[in-house]
Structure 1
Amino acid sequence: MHVRTAKDIGTFIRDQRKRQKLDQATLASLIGVNRRWVMEVERGKPRAEIGLVLKALEALGLDLSIDRREMPGSTRDALDIVDIDAIVRNAKGPAT
């Protein structure tokens, strides 16, 4: 799913909550917020605290992945791509 707005992520959270048969109060309890916060986020509240949104995703068993998309007229080359897995492997050093 491509998320471009607060409403998109709110819709996704609501959909996943319902699929898991959780009510708003239960999700709120898992996150440590009140039901009103869940209602506002599901409606696309643009100023929702990102840390709490991430906790909501975690409570639903979801991961957030960010991908770089091509921009029109972009001249990005291979040097602009960051491989976080390679960075972690290099930081750990050679396998023994």
Structure 2
Amino acid sequence: MLIGTPTEFGAALERRRRELSLTQDDVASAIGVNRRVIGELERGKGSVRIEIALAVAQAVGLDVDLSART
């Protein structure tokens, strides 16, 4: 899936989290952050640190792949 905005990234994380029947608290506990941070990320808040965004993606089993546009 092609992600172009923080909102799309957050929505993809939320969809996957729900597919796995995980709560925001579950994911937050798994990576050691407050649940509020997960909510902000899922709503597309652009100020969430990249290392947290990548950790959430990993926690819900998503790979982040950067590739050159052709």
Q: Same fold (TM over 0.5)?
A: yes
Pairing 1:37-52 to 2, within 5 Å after superposition: 37-52=37-52
- Which ranges of structure 2 fall in alignment gaps of 5 or more residues? none
Q: Deviations over 1:36-93 (max 9, x none)?
A: 00000000001110001110011112211111113xxxxxxxxxxxxxxxxxxxxxxx
Pairing 1:13-92 to 2, within 5 Å after superposition: 13-70=13-70
- Highest RCO, 1 vs 2 (Cα 8 Å, sep ≥ 6): 2
Report how many aligned residue pairs link the two structures: 70
**CA RMSD across the alignment:** 0.8
AA aligned opposite 1:66: L
- What's the % identity of the aligned pairs? 37
Return the alpha-carbon distance in structure 2 between the equivalents of residues 17 and 3 of structure 1.
Answer: 17
Structure 1-normalised TM-score?
0.70
Return the alpha-carbon distance in structure 1 between the equivalents of residues 9 and 32 of structure 2.
Answer: 19
4+ residue stretches of structure 1 with deviation over 6 A?
none
AA aligned opposite 1:64: V
Q: Give the structure with higher Rg (CA).
A: 1
